[in-house]
Amino acid sequence: MKKLLKWIGVSLATLVAIALVGLATIIFVGGRKLSAERTLAPEIVGSVSVPVDAASIERGAHLAATRCVFCHGEDLGGKKFIDDASFMLLNAPNLTRGGGGVGAHYADDTAWVRSIRHGLNPQGRALIIMPSEVFYYLSDEDLGSLVAYLKSLPPIDRSWAAPQPAIVAKALVGAGVLTSAVPFLGMDHQAPRPAAPAPGATAEYGEYIARSFGCASCHGKELSGQLTPGPKKFLAGNLTPGGPLKDWNEELFLKMVHERVHEEMPWGMLRSMHDLEQRALWRFLAAQPARASTGVAGES
């Protein structure tokens, strides 16, 4: 009996040791994924023309107001983004050239493109929760205008601590579970980008807006709803006529855009869109097949 108990004890200790080694390996791999320096071939990054005219910079300001301020703050000087020491401490950085800003580190336009479209900072490290998989689909013209505006920002002196992923976050990244936290790792950096349609209150232009705004990131690839990825889960509802959308019309949608508030839904950026863009987005959503909700029962 003593021999049996000893054997069981040794076996359990061995299993625990193996599990700890495995966990340590996953954590190490996750840490390496987050800190490794990477490069992209010039032909993959491509060349984006960055204009200098006032109209293009104004267009870039509009794109920043409808794509960037939710994370980086109204003045793009950065803000606290994730404040959970058990998972990750993450600040959206100051994008200006002021003290503590990252703008001064972007030596050329290509560095901006690599960061926005591919999710690599000027040092070649993968950016955390930078929606490059969404901005990848900005047209070259829009991306160029956005970069032109970011380069024109007045300097703001505001410093933020570097990302501090906890062991849990590193383990999830190492296990390949939290790929959405590091978009660079899961992106196809050579995927074709359809040409942006002409601006107009059309479903076709609405599709471009929905794709480059990132609706699918929260609402699922088919926009039929899901629990959002990440530690703080919430229900992103069904955006097809198979969900609550069936009871809406265009004017009700526009009314909701201008009146609704939700800390996890960037209504403010939707409100910053032009009326034409809001109507185009509605017409794209309304034209989707009526898909059954894939979120949680009781969505509203």
pLDDT tens digit string along 72-122? 999 999 999 888 888 888 999 999 999 999 999 998 999 999 999 999 999
**Is 218:236 a contact under the CB 8 Å cutoff?**
yes
- The pLDDT tens digits of the residues spanning 195-228 come to 889 999 999 999 999 999 999 988 999 999 887 7
Q: What angle do CA 234, 132, 269 make, to 5 degrees?
A: 55
Percent of the chain at pLDDT above 90? Answer: 57
Q: Is the confidence at residue 297, as pLDDT, over 50?
A: no
Q: From CA 143, how far away is CA 63, in angstroms rounded?
A: 9
Mean pLDDT over 128-139 rounds to 94
